[in-house]
A and B are shown apart, each in its own frame.
Chain A
Amino acid sequence: MGRITLEGVTKSFDDTKVIHGADLEIEDGKFVVFVGPSGCGKTTLLRLIAGLEDVSGGRILIDGKDVTRLAPAKRGLSMVFQSYALYPHMSVRRNIAFGLKMARMPKSEIERRVAHAAGILNLTDYLDRRPGQLSGGQRQRVAIGRAIVREPKGFLFDEPLSNLDAALRVQMRLEVTRLQKQLKTTAVYVTHDQVEAMTMADEIVVLQAGRIEQVGTPLELYERPANVFVAGFIGSPRMNLFEGPVAKRNGATTLGVRPEHLRVQPGDAVVADGCEAWGGTVIQAEHLGSDTFVYVDVPGIGTLDARCTGELRVQVGDTVTLLPDMHQLHRFDAQQLAMA
C-alpha cells in the first residue's frame, strides 16, 4: 500500500513562500510525475513528502495516516537523488544493504534482498566495487537498488536521469518504468523533461511557481489543458498560442492549436464553411524526412509552427495556407483558463 495525500501543504523559506497550498491525491501503485519549469518547487515538494523538510502548513498522509511530523525514515518511503548520493566509501553491496542494516534486519535476509535487487538491476557482477569505479548508468542502478531493497511504500525520484547521456537516458527510462510496474509500488518522479513525463507517467502534476496547475493523465493534459500555461508546457513542439481578432472570431481571448493539428497546403485553398484558413509565407522549413516542420508568418496572427508527417515540398518564401483541425482548437478566456 502507498497512498500519498497532500492537504493544503505550504512551504516558506524564511519569508519567501515556495509552495502555495498543494492538494494532491496519489493513488497506490501509480507512477506520478511532477513537471514544471526550473525553480517551480518540484524538488521542494518531493522533499516535503520525504520528510527532509518540514511543511509550513497543511498535512501529509500516507495510507490515511498523518505523517507530517514523522522522521524521514519512519515514513516508509525511499528516495533516489539527482546526484545519486551513493556512499563513496562503501561497496555497492554495502550501499544497497545500508538501509536494511539500519533497520536491524537479520544478515541472511539482508543478503537475500541485496542479491535479489542486484539480480533485477544487473548489478551482480559489481557488488564489490566502490561507486567511484562504476559508470553513470551503473551508479544510477545502485541508487535505485538502494531504494528498492527496503520494499518501501513509495519511491521518490528527483530528476534521476538528468546526469546521463541521451541514449542511456532512454534505456533507463524504460527500465525504471518496467521496474515500477513490476513492483507495483507508488512512485513520485520529478523531471523537467516533458518527454520523460509523457512516456513514464500514469498521472502528471504540472507545477508552476509553487502552484499545482493541473493533474491528469498524459493524454488528458495533451488533449484538454486546463489553462494557457499547461497548454504551452505540455507537448512538443509547443502549442501555437495567440490572441487577436482570429481568437475573438472563435470566441476566445487566447486561441491555441498544436503544430500537428495544422495542415499545410501550398498556395491558396478553398475553405469549407465554418472552417478557418490562414494564409502566410514560409519563413523556415526543417526537413527531417519523417516529419517536416514549417514556420509560417501569418499576417494578423504571427508566426505559427506546423508539423506535417512525411516530406512536404515547401521552401522559404512560398505562400501557403494553414488549415487547422477545428476539433483541436483550444480556447482560453481572459483568465487564461480553458473554456468548456
Chain B
Amino acid sequence: MATQQTQKLARILIAPSIILLLLWMIVPLAMTAWFSALNYNLLNSVTSFAGLGNYRYFLSNPAFLSSLLNTLVLVGSVLAISAFFGVLIALLLDQVIVGRRVVRLMLIAPFFVMPTVSALIWKNLLMNPVSGLLAWLWRLFGLTPVDWFTQVPMLSIILIVAWQWLPFAVLILLTALQSLDQEQQEAALMDGAGAFDRFFHLTLPHLARPLSIVILIETIFLLTVFAEIYVTTGGGPGVETTNLAYLIYSQALLQYDVGAASAGGLIAVVLANIAAIFLMRIVGKNLET
C-alpha cells in the first residue's frame, strides 16, 4: 500500500472532505469574525466599526458565565446518566429475558424521536403541572405536583435530553457486552471469581472502548443542544437553562444583535475547540487500535 502512486492517490481522495470541511468552517468563521468587529444590528441600518467592543459586551454579560456553567452541567449530567444507566441496563438486557426483542425495541425507541417532538411531548403531555401525567402521578401519591420548568428547569431539560441519549448508550454497550468472550467468563468462573470481580476485571475493561465511543458521540451532540431548550423553557426562567448555543441564538435572532452574537459565536468556537482537545485526550487513547 505504500507506493508513492497510492499515496498520491490517497491524498487526492481525501482532499474533497478536507477542502469542504475547511470551507464549511473557515468561510462562515471569517464572516463571523468580521461581523464580531462591527456594531451590526438587524434593526439598525447603520453599521459601524466596534473593535473589541462586542467581545467586551458579550464576555461581561453575566449570562455568559452562567451559560457556560449550564452547558457543562447539561453535558456532564447527561453523559453521567447515560454512561451509568447505560451500563446497568445493558447488563440487565444481557441476561436471559422473556421477550428480550420487544424490550430492546422499546428501549431504543427514544433515540429515533426528533428532539422537537420529544421536547413537546415531555413539556405538554408529561410535565405540565396541571394536566401532565407526572402531575397526576404526584397527586396519586398525595404529593403536590411539581411545576417542572419553573421549579427545576435545568433538571427537566437534563431529563429530556438524557431520555433521548440513554438508548444510544444502551444500544452500543449491549452489543459490546454480547461480544464478550464467553470462554473468558467461564475461565474466570473456574478461577473462583465472583460476580463483582468478573464485572470489574472483565466486563468493565471490555466496555472501555464502547463507552469512549458513546461519550465522544454524545458530547458532540450535547454541546450543541438547542431544540429541547427552544421548545420548552426558551432559556428561562431568567437564564437558568440558557446554554451557550441558546445564548448566542437569543443574542442574534431575538435581540437582532449580529455583532454581539458573532463575538459569542467565535468565543463558542474557541471553547468548543478546547473541549474537543480535552475530549480527544481523554477518549482518544481508548480508540487507538
Interface residue ranges, A against B (CB under 8 Å):
51-54, 71
Contact = CB atoms under 8 A, between A and B. Distances in A.
A52 B2 CA distance: 7
A51 B2 CA distance: 9
A265 B1 CA distance: 58
Nearest to B4: A54
A52 B5 contact: no
A17 to B, nearest CB: 15
Nearest to A71: B5
A54 B8 CA distance: 13
A71 B1 CA distance: 11
Contacts, number: 11
11 contacts: A51-B3, A52-B1, A52-B2, A52-B3, A53-B2, A53-B3, A54-B2, A54-B3, A54-B4, A71-B3, A71-B5
The 7 closest A-B pairs by CB, nearest first: A54-B3, A53-B2, A54-B4, A53-B3, A71-B5, A51-B3, A54-B2
Contacts of B2: 52-54
Contacts of A51: 3
Query: Looking at chain B, what size class is its interface with the partner chain?
Result: under 10
Contacts of B5: 71
Interface of B: 1-5
Contacts of A54: 2-4
Contacts of A52: 1-3
A52 B5 CA distance: 10
Contacts of B1: 52
Contacts of A71: 3, 5
A52 B6 CA distance: 9
Nearest to B7: A54
A48 B2 CA distance: 10
A12 to B, nearest CB: 11
A41 to B, nearest CB: 15
A51 B3 CA distance: 8
B2 to A, nearest CB: 5
Contacts of B3: 51-54, 71
Nearest to A47: B2
B158 to A, nearest CB: 45
Chain A CB within 10 Å, residue with most, of B1, B2, B3: B3
Contacts of A53: 2-3
A307 B5 CA distance: 54
A71 B4 CA distance: 10
A192 to B, nearest CB: 23
B267 to A, nearest CB: 41
A138 to B, nearest CB: 28
Nearest to A54: B3
A51 B1 CA distance: 9
Contacts of B4: 54
B106 to A, nearest CB: 35
Nearest to A48: B3
Nearest to B2: A53
A21 B2 CA distance: 19
A95 B90 CA distance: 41
A207 B1 CA distance: 23
B12 to A, nearest CB: 16
A48 to B, nearest CB: 10
A53 B7 CA distance: 11
Nearest to A53: B2
A54 B4 CA distance: 7
Nearest to A13: B2
B213 to A, nearest CB: 26
A52 B3 CA distance: 6
Given A52-B3, A54-B2, A71-B3, 8 more contacts: A51-B3, A52-B1, A52-B2, A53-B2, A53-B3, A54-B3, A54-B4, A71-B5
A54 B7 CA distance: 11
A74 to B, nearest CB: 11
